[in-house]
Amino acid sequence: MSSLMTEQGVLHYESLGRGKPLLLLHCWLGSWDFWRTTMEAFASESLGYRIYALDFWGFGESDRRLPTYQVDDYVAMVVQFMDHLGIARAPVFGHSMGGTVAMTLAVEHPDRVSKVAVVGSPMDGNSLSILLKLAGVPWVADILWRFPPLLRFVIWGYSPFLARDRKEVYRRMMQTLSQSTVASFCQSIASLRRKDLRPRLPEVQVPVLGIYGVHDWVVHPDQALVIQRLVPQARVDVFEASGHFPMLDEPERFHRLLREFLTEA
C-alpha cells in the first residue's frame, strides 16, 4: 500500500512492475482494485512499465474529507500525482469515469499524456443510463445512503447488466461503497453527467484507443462512434460479448488489445 500527501489530502495508489510509468484510473464506485488483473498481467509479461493504479478521492483508501468530488478535481489529482513522482509524461488508461478523466487530462494537459485508452467511458454525460443520472440527484442519493438495504438491493438488481460475473462485480462495488461517502457517491456521478468533451475532442493529438461493450447498460456504446468521429488518432474496438466491464467479461481479448496499443510505436 502506497500513498502521498497532496494539497487536498491523502492519495492512495498501488504500483507494480519496473520501467516507464503507466497510469490506470478506475470507474465510479470503483477503486484501484478493478485494475488488479491488468496490473498483474502486464507485470508478468515484463512489458517494461511501472504501473500505477490510483484511488480517486472519496473512493478506496484515498481521502474522503474533500469539499467537492468533480471530474476536474480528479484531473488535478492526477497532475499532482505525476508532479509528486516526477512523471513528466505517460500513457493514461481509464475505465468509465476514469476514462473521462483521462481524456480530459489529454485535452487540458496535452504535454502530460502520451496515449489514452478509455473503456466504457462517456464522452458526453448524456450517454449515462438513467439510474446513474438519478444517483447524482442529491435527494435520491441521500435516500439510498440512509437506507443501506435499499442501496444494496438496487446495486444487486443492476449488477447483471454490468458484467457476466454478477457476484464479482457486486462484491467489488459493495467494498468500494463501504469506503465512500454520500458526497463522493453523488457529486462525482453528477459531475460526470454534466461533462461533455465532444467540442474539444478534435484537440486531442495523441493516439487514443476506445473499448466499449455492446451490452453496456451504464454508458451507451455509441460513445465509441463519438471517439472515432472526433479524435484524429483514434481507433475503437467494440466487444460483442461484454457489458460495462470488458476486463471481466473478455479478459484475454481485453489485455491483448491494451498490450498492443501500449507497445506499438
Domain boundaries of the chain, sorted by first residue: 2-263
Q: Give the whole-angstrom CA distance, residue 55 versus residue 210.
A: 22
Q: What pLDDT digit, counting tens, does each position of 65-103 carry?
A: 999 999 999 999 999 999 999 999 999 999 999 999 999
Q: Give the whole-angstrom CA distance, residue 258 versus residue 250.
A: 12
Q: At residue 134, does pLDDT exceed 90?
A: yes
C-alpha grid cell, residue 102: 483521462
Q: If you average pLDDT over residues 125-132, what whole number do you get?
A: 96
| Homologous superfamily (CATH) for 2-263 | Alpha/Beta hydrolase fold, catalytic domain (3.40.50.1820)
Long-range contacts of 147-154 (CB under 8 A, 24+ apart): 151/177
pTM score, whole prediction: 0.96
Q: Give the whole-angstrom CA distance, residue 262 versus residue 90.
A: 11
Q: At residue 195, does pLDDT exceed 90?
A: yes
